[in-house]
Amino acid sequence: AKLFVALKENDRDAIVRIATAPPFRFTTKGMQPDLIYRYMCFHCDRDTPDVTGGMNVQQFAEYLDRTDPVAYINDDIIMVKRVSILLRGMGNAFHMKLKTSDYWAPVAARWLSKSAD
């Protein structure tokens, strides 16, 4: 939930911190913060030019793998990635650019607020 709030706010430091800390423990070979930020944005939120550098989805995925390959990704985030990518792909079919955190962050924030009580 914290990840989607950080994605919505585009808080780079928080995105990297949340992604690399438990429970996610996302790690790459080089642990480059900018690329971890871009991995999380790309896989969980959006594929906009500010993230992909203007590359298409396939080119950007290959670029990430070539530049700083993933060493570990927690199983819990795999389904989140999958759903985000599938929803954005469906949106693209209808010429819609989706940013999933626009939809998921409000729900995540409410959950975080309730769980803090």
Torsion of Cα atoms, 17 then 21 then 23 then 26, to 10°? 80
Question: Per the structure, how many domains does the chain have?
Answer: 1
Structural domain including 76 reads: 2-116
Confidence of residue 59 (pLDDT cuts 50, 70, 90): very high
pLDDT confidence of residue 116? 79
Q: How many CA atoms lie within 13 A of 109 on its CB side?
A: 11
CA distances from 17 to 12, 22, 27, 49, 92 (A): 9, 10, 11, 23, 30
pLDDT in tens, 69-108: 999 999 988 888 999 999 999 998 999 999 999 999 999 9
The predicted-structure confidence for 25-41, as pLDDT tens digits, reads as follows 999 999 999 999 999 99
Q: What pTM was estimated for this model as a whole?
A: 0.91
